[in-house]
Structure 1
Amino acid sequence: MITTLGLGIALTKTQDAPDPYLLDIGRKGTVTARMGFTDTRSAKLTTPDEIAAAADSVQFILVGESHATPSHHQAQADIIRALVKRGRLVTVGMEMVTRDRQMQVNGLSSGMETIEEFEVSSDWKNTWGHNFNAYRPVFEAIRDHKLRLTALNVPREMVRKASRESYDAFTEFEKKWVPYMDLTNTNHEKVVSALIGGHPLNGSGFNMLAGQVTWDIGMAKTALDWRRDWPYKKNIMVILAGSGHVMYDQGINYRLKQMDGTNSISVVCVSDEPNRKVSRGLADYVFVGELPPQTGTRTQ
């Protein structure tokens, strides 16, 4: 059983569902992802420092996770710290916090709040719900270096409107955060379908693809608004989101490119065994870390 993309729907994988890590999208061929970071172009192991160097020419690096997987969040923190060491002005953009709560999360960046106080002020339990302590390495990196934290996501009510009604149900204010709706990317549709086990993306008054696209466009728009407000060459935003928003450059990265022609670098953290074959198109880099104890449902 899988829980689909944070929408709270439990589905059983169909027998002929494609492997979401082996889709034929983007760069051709496969690569063996070993423990640690693998460069999908060279098939060689690499390091956070080398990834930070590769990001010299971009202002966005997306690191996709399986939510609340400690090794994934440690990998994210390692990349953040490597970018700081390289002299970049790092902002951390988090899917886990909605942009209407930006004021509530500023205390961690300024050092005015402890990590424990941030858990309360961000209303983490109600707004995100996944194990807070799993993300601690990321929060420690933010607080240690007083990095800007951007609440990247849109409120869930907007996702519900898009998936159960239509984009026309958005208010004029909401359309500033999600300025358009585009469901024409067939590669993105393939990714989402694979992640939900091959099930249809709509039916019974529910359009899952529209909900996913709302998230992607909304987070990309928040990221671009950040760059507009902080137009410095050394700036870089590390976007932390579920892997479904990053895989094959068809999620947030696709919308950054669509809206602004912006290039980015992608890292996908894989919840699987080491020495696992993945598509070269999955991401620029793939991270494999230790799996958490099995507690039931797997999320993307």
Structure 2
Amino acid sequence: MACVRCLALIALALFLCIPADIRAQAREADALDLTLRDVLRGRDVPLAKAAHRLAEANVVLVGESHDDPDHHAAQLQIINSLRLSGYPVAVGLEMFQHREQQILDDWVVGNLSESDMAKAFARNWDASWPLYRPIFEYCRQERIPMIGLNVPREITRQVARQGFSSLSREQMGQLPPVVCIVDPAYEAFLRRVLGTHAGDGEFNKFCEAQLVWDTAMAYYAGEYHVSDPERTLVVLTGSVHAWKPAVPAQLRKLHPELSSLSVLPAESGVEPGRITPKDADYLYMRGG
């Protein structure tokens, strides 16, 4: 597995050295290599054919393992395939706080250097900018809007440690409208996906943090769509947030008029055969 990861990182590094116009051509051809498993129908569909159905949704959530280059390559292919099929798209990011939207706007129009964006990315997320760089470069090249969907990370960390009730009035003011009530179905979903056996008290705080995360991303995704309804918003997020009981469920509560589709990597912590249409709409994988 380590060797496979090294090869993927080498391939990514080589990809970044290719001129932008050649990279674009490579992406257009590579979009044909991604295969999606239609969970409801139990069959594999080439991305080029699935793109039309994806574009019918207002929001498409594409899950990832944050450190997996193959997942980011697949996300880029999905974005590219939608654009090549003639559908206007925007990209929503778990990796950026909503309050730093101006940075993303400046990046897309070319008013921010890569070094400044790398610093902003590290401030918002971590040091994994090289893994996300091809997606960011592509969005800038094609003038695709990028939308920050997250809340300040110190807030979710505090909720995970001390619970939602520990937030001050000032901290609550940094959140969109959030009702943090963890119901049994949501807790069962997280236990199933994460396989955790943590004690009830600590796990409930973790559930609250996840729920704050899910609700905020759903809220900001819905707000963006209201402002730009012609675009399909492709949300890049950790797989646990892309499952239907997570962000999609909160999106239905906050914006029942919007439709969403959930696309997970085939290796999402649960055996593919046990993933049902209640969990996701598509699984993505390489080849046929």
What is the TM-score with the length of structure 1 in the denominator? 0.74
Between 150-159 and 236-245, report the one with greater CA deviation. Answer: 150-159
Which ranges in structure 2 are unaligned for 5 or more consecutive residues?
1-33
Q: Aligned partners of 1:271, 1:178: CA distance in 2, in Å? A: 32
Code of the aligned partner of 1:229: S
Q: Is the 8 A contact 1:111 1:146 kept in 2?
A: no
Say which SS state the counterpart of residue 207 (structure 1) adopts.
helix
Aligned twin of 1:252: 247
Code of the aligned partner of 1:255: Q
**Cα distance, 1:103 vs structure 2:** 1.6
Task: State the percentage of identical aligned residues.
Answer: 25
Q: Aligned partners of 2:255, 2:49: CA distance in 1, in Å? A: 26
Q: Aligned partners of 1:276, 1:245: CA distance in 2, in Å? A: 17
Q: Out of 101, 123, 136, which is 2:133 matched to?
A: 136
In structure 2, the CA distance between the partners of 1:271 and 1:176, relative to structure 1 (3 Å rule), is: same
In structure 2, the CA distance between the partners of 1:168 and 1:125, relative to structure 1 (3 Å rule), is: closer
Aligned twin of 1:42: 41
> Is the counterpart of residue 241 in structure 1 residue 237 in structure 2?
yes
What is the TM-score with the length of structure 2 in the denominator? 0.77
Q: Aligned partners of 1:271, 1:39: CA distance in 2, in Å? A: 15
**Cα distance, 1:254 vs structure 2:** 0.6
Larger % of strand: which? 1
Moved over 6 A (4+): none
**Cα distance, 1:182 vs structure 2:** 3.8
Q: Is the 8 A contact 2:214 2:246 kept in 1?
A: yes
Q: Aligned partners of 1:215, 1:253: CA distance in 2, in Å? A: 12
What's the CA shift string for 1:154-195, capped at 9, x where partnerless? 101221343314247353674573312243443321221234
Q: Aligned partners of 2:211, 2:202: CA distance in 1, in Å? A: 19
What's the CA shift string for 1:239-272, capped at 9, x where partnerless? 110000012x011111000111122011001347
Larger % of helix: which? 2
Q: Is the 8 A contact 2:239 2:268 kept in 1?
A: no
Aligned residues: 250
In structure 2, the CA distance between the partners of 1:38 and 1:69, relative to structure 1 (3 Å rule), is: same
Which ranges in structure 1 are unaligned for 5 or more consecutive residues?
1-34, 291-300
> Is the counterpart of residue 73 in structure 1 residue 69 in structure 2?
no
Say which SS state the counterpart of residue 62 (structure 2) adopts.
strand
Instruction: Tell me: higher relative CO, structure 1 or 2? Use CA pairs within 8 A at least 6 residues apart.
Output: 1
> Is the counterpart of residue 159 in structure 1 residue 156 in structure 2?
yes
Aligned twin of 1:177: 175
Between 161-170 and 221-230, report the one with greater CA deviation. Answer: 161-170
What's the CA shift string for 1:7-63, capped at 9, x where partnerless? xxxxxxxxxxxxxxxxxxxxxxxxxxxx83211122222223223200343210000
Say which SS state the counterpart of residue 203 (structure 1) adopts.
helix
**Cα distance, 1:115 vs structure 2:** 4.3
Matches within 5 A, 1:289-300: 289=286
Aligned twin of 2:107: 108
Code of the aligned partner of 1:135: Y
Q: Is the 8 A contact 1:115 1:140 kept in 2?
A: no
Q: Aligned partners of 1:185, 1:119: CA distance in 2, in Å? A: 38
Say which SS state the counterpart of residue 181 (structure 2) adopts.
coil
In structure 2, the CA distance between the partners of 1:55 and 1:271, relative to structure 1 (3 Å rule), is: closer
What's the CA shift string for 1:203-240, capped at 9, x where partnerless? 3697100000000001111111212222x3x2111011
**Cα distance, 1:126 vs structure 2:** 3.7
Q: Is the 8 A contact 1:177 1:222 kept in 2?
A: no
